[in-house]
């Protein structure tokens, strides 16, 4: 099995480029044990970055993660997010404390502002700094920030300490390639791609099927391999079954050639102008 490559955060710490998402986990109690079991299989396969958020399942996803990482916390690079309505100076700290309790953890490795809200960014950054000082988080970052948001962030004292920007990015959502991705790459900030297979909606596309057929791979593996070949991109597909976990993991072994990339560019053209950041 090919090891999962790593990318560097601005701090020079390395993280795997293929992780596990938990959006829609923790919403129904009867599925929680199976969801945690799937995450554990992913950990066994080296997918040690797990992304969650206080929003997912109203905290239920973080509780699923707690089950999955019990006794294995030191193996995991743990990511969670604060909702914008909670992102005041005091509110961010309180939200982090609640997430830590649900996660059964003493620290979050990367804590993200889920999207822009009304609290001033300076107040959120002050809270992040306090959480780092107190050992509650190790790094902070943002999610769903467009280029103008990143420029505003970097204009603030300490804004250049941002470790990551998590955004919607896949073959059908390539708008960030025009300006946001270059902004992040110039500053060594990884882009974490959520919904990397568009929640399955792209998987019947003829181009993905054709490329997959040439490599005895599934359309999902093609979509993931297209992302994973790029420097500074982390993909966090959500999978709640062993089959899908193993399918995602095997995408690391799929190497797309120039003909494959040309076919995918033809089917899913890169942007030629600025597009507003898309969100799900």
* pTM over the 0.85 mark: yes
What's the CA angle centered on 204, arms 201 and 205, to 5 degrees? 100
24 flagged as catalytic: no
- 75 confidence band (pLDDT: 50, 70, 90): very high
Percentage of the chain beyond pLDDT 70 is: 100
C-beta atoms surrounding 1 within 10 Å: 9
E strand or H helix at 77, and its extent?
Answer: strand 77-82
- 1 confidence band (pLDDT: 50, 70, 90): confident
**Spatial CB neighbours of 110, under 8 Å, sequence gap ≥ 6:** 77, 78, 79, 80, 137, 138, 139, 140, 141, 163, 164
Average pLDDT score over the chain: 97
Closest CA to 11 of 193, 121, 152, 141: 141
Mean pLDDT computed over 177-190: 97
Whether 96 shows a pLDDT value over 80: the answer reads: yes
- 2 confidence band (pLDDT: 50, 70, 90): confident
SS (H, E, C) 9-26: CCCCCEEECECEECCCCC
C-beta atoms surrounding 138 within 10 Å: 18
Q: Where are the alpha helices (DSSP H) in the chain?
A: 29-44, 60-69, 89-103, 121-133, 147-154, 180-186, 206-215, 219-228, 242-250, 258-267
56, 111, 169, 194: the active-site residue: 56
Q: Which domains does the chain have, with CATH numbers?
A: 16-201+230-250 (3.20.20.100)
How does pLDDT run across 257-280, given as a tens digit for each residue? 999 999 999 999 999 999 999 998
Mean pLDDT computed over 97-125: 98
């Amino acid at each position: 099995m090919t090891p999962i490559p790593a990318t560097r955060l601005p701090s020079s710490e390395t993280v795997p480029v293929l992780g596990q998402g938990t959006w829609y986990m923790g919403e129904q109690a009867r599925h929680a044990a199976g969801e945690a079991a799937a995450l554990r299989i992913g950990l066994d396969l080296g997918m040690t970055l797990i992304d969650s958020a206080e929003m997912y399942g109203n905290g239920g996803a973080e509780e699923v993660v707690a089950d999955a990482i019990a006794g294995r916390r030191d193996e995991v690079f743990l990511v969670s997010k604060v909702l914008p309505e909670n992102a005041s100076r005091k509110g961010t700290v309180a939200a982090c404390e609640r997430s830590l309790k649900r996660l059964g953890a003493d620290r979050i490795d990367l804590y993200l502002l889920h999207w822009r809200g009304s609290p001033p960014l300076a107040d959120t950054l002050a809270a992040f700094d306090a959480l780092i000082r107190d050992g509650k988080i190790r790094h902070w970052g943002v999610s769903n920030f467009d280029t103008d948001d990143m420029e505003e962030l970097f204009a603030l004292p300490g804004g250049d300490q941002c470790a990551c920007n998590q955004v919607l990015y896949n073959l059908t959502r390539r708008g960030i390639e025009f300006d946001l991705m270059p902004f992040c790459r110039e500053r060594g900030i990884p882009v974490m791609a959520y919904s990397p297979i568009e929640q399955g909606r792209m998987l019947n596309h003829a181009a993905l099927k054709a490329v997959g057929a040439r490599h005895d791979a599934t359309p999902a593996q093609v979509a993931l391999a297209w992302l994973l070949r790029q420097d500074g991109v982390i993909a966090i597909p959500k999978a709640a079954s062993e089959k899908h976990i193993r399918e995602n993991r095997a995408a690391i072994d799929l190497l797309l050639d120039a003909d494959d990339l040309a076919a995918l560019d033809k089917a899913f053209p890169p942007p030629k102008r600025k597009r507003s950041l898309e969100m799900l």
